[in-house]
Amino acid sequence: MRSTLPDASGFDIVVLSDLLHFHNSHPAILSSLTNLLARNESSRSFVAAGTYTPPHVCSNFVKLAVIEGLLVEEGVADDVWRGEKEVWKGKRLGSN
């Protein structure tokens, strides 16, 4: 059976979505992120926070990421949904 985990070099891309509102978990999230990312210039993490996450909470995460040595580039918060609205495409367990 093939493992879904990367070799010791890590993942090229890590996506984090809707985790930043757990303000006290920022150190643990960053620890996981730095352990999962490949250690090269082309590895990236894409981090998204919902509009319900206060700006000061997002700023705290960014500040801690910089302290961890991560290069941070912030995108524009324009409230434009760029994905599909329907996330669940299968049949829910227990539904008929």
Which alpha helices (DSSP H) does 21-78 contain, by range? Answer: 26-36, 55-67
Q: Residue 29, by phi and psi: left (phi above 0), alpha (psi -120 to 50) or beta?
A: alpha
Residue 68: DSSP 8-state? T
Closest CA to 20 of 63, 61, 65: 61
User: Tell me: the pLDDT tens digits for 16-40?
Assistant: 998 999 889 999 999 999 999 998 8
Rg of the chain on CA atoms, in Å: 16
Distances (CA, A) of 23 to 10, 58, 60, 86, 87: 26, 9, 8, 28, 26
More confident residue, 54 or 9: 54
User: Tell me: the pLDDT tens digits for 35-86?
Assistant: 999 988 889 999 988 878 899 999 999 999 999 999 999 877 676 666 655 5
3-state secondary structure of 44: strand
3-state secondary structure of 48: strand
